[in-house]
Amino acid sequence: MIEWGLIVSFAFVFMATVSCLLMLWRMPKIADEPHETSGEAQVSIIIPARNEEKRLGPLLASIQPKSRPNMEVLVIDDDSTDQTAEFARSFGARVIANTQVEDGWIGKSAACWQGATAASGEILLFLDADTRFYKNTSIDELIGAYQTSGSRGILSVQPFHTVTKPYENLSFIFNMIVMAGMNVFTPWSFKGAGSFGPCIVTNRTDYFASGGHKKISGAVMDDLALGEAYQHVDLPVDCFSGKGLIHFQMYPEGLRPLIEGWTKNFATASQSTHPLVTTLISIWISGGFLALPALVLSLVVGNGAFVATSVLLFALFTLQLYAVGRQVGSFHWWVYPLHFIFFVFFTLLFMRSVYYTKVKQTVTWRGRKIRV
């Protein structure tokens, strides 16, 4: 009976390895191809910021607005209680206060909408405050890629996750699923689930034609909803990996913001994932739970063939995690062989997200209670 259980576990671990390769078959990066911008388009960078005094510095320093006379930087202060506004002004950014919006509409979507209506550029670049450009030419490459694609719709980029503190590795599984859940990195041509939120390039004509952030004012996952709004009016939405172009450090303030952030995002986001991709993700997670127990049980049973098979499958599963994970973030080497722990953490936090979003229908983020 134990032997049959091991055989089933081996099959799941093998399928999980294949599933990971299929759900993240390709992750195109803008940095892989040369893109030159005409330099003539006026660009407005819009940064929604709530209590971001400690995180804005790297982004504003990496923008270097003086090198682009046709670029403006707008920081939308979303009712911060710290020195976000003063800090942004010290870098030469134009600060707009977002303290009261019609019908009490506040938050990131309201801040983005207010920034877009105040912007003068024909190209709008929305950035999260925790992002930063990897090199001096990143903005030119990003705008150049958008212009090369025809300057239509949305070009969105998921930043490369730069990890500096051990607990930040807990976002490992989440980051990989965020990429896979967008539906567009498989071998098949599925409709995208939306757009990545941390870095979005669009043009003002398409933005207002789609309704922009005002149309999705009630959405918790504004990035997915904005992409869907563009698709609804037949505008393209392209998604890329940000490695080598734009990076971010997720939840550097501590473990509690990390838990709150993923609780807010994950159960809601999963609704937009294609059923086949959801199946691949589920098989992959199952393999993450079975690879280590199958190895341990094989050693207990002492069957040489089973031990060799379990060691091989554990190694293959770990190697595919490393091969894909290093394209997503700079996770520490020990994360990969200890993946069982991270799958457990992911599952517990996903269950927490389901409870808060489906049962309590409210989540907490940056001191605000958000109805979902």
pLDDT in tens, 129-173: 999 999 988 999 999 999 999 999 999 999 999 999 999 999 999
Instruction: Compute the CA torsion angle 254, 256, 259, 265 (nearest 10 deg).
Output: -90
The pLDDT of residue 8 is 92
The pLDDT of residue 89 is 92
The pLDDT of residue 101 is 60
The pLDDT of residue 217 is 82
The pLDDT of residue 81 is 84
Mean pLDDT of 342-366: 82
334 pLDDT more than 80: yes
With CA atoms as reference, report the closest residue to 51 among 82, 74, 76.
82
- pLDDT confidence bin for 269, thresholds 50/70/90: low
In the chain, the amino acid numbered 206 is D
Contacts of 212 (CB under 8 A, 6+ apart): 112, 113, 116, 226, 229
**Eight-class DSSP state of 274:** -
Residue 365 CA to residue 107 CA, distance in Å, equals 10
Mean pLDDT of 198-216: 95
- pLDDT confidence bin for 40, thresholds 50/70/90: confident
With CA atoms as reference, report the closest residue to 199 among 313, 26, 25, 31.
31
The pLDDT of residue 36 is 64
Residue 202's DSSP bridge partners are 124
The pLDDT of residue 38 is 60
Contacts of 265 (CB under 8 A, 6+ apart): 220, 221, 353
The pLDDT of residue 65 is 57
- pLDDT confidence bin for 123, thresholds 50/70/90: very high
Which strand ranges, in their side-by-side order, compose the sheet holding 154-158? 94-97, 71-77, 43-49, 123-127, 199-203, 154-158, 237-241
Domains and CATH numbers, the chain: 2-25+273-361 (no CATH), 30-254 (3.90.550.10)
The pLDDT of residue 286 is 94
Q: Over the Cα atoms of the chain, what is R_g? A: 22
In the chain, the amino acid numbered 278 is T
Residue 5 CA to residue 144 CA, distance in Å, equals 54
Q: How many CB atoms lie within 10 A of CB 65?
A: 16
CB-based burial label for 76 (10 Å; 0-12, 13-18, 19+) = buried
184 pLDDT more than 80: yes
The pLDDT of residue 370 is 64
Look at residue 53 and give its three-state secondary structure: coil
Q: How many CB atoms lie within 10 A of CB 365?
A: 17
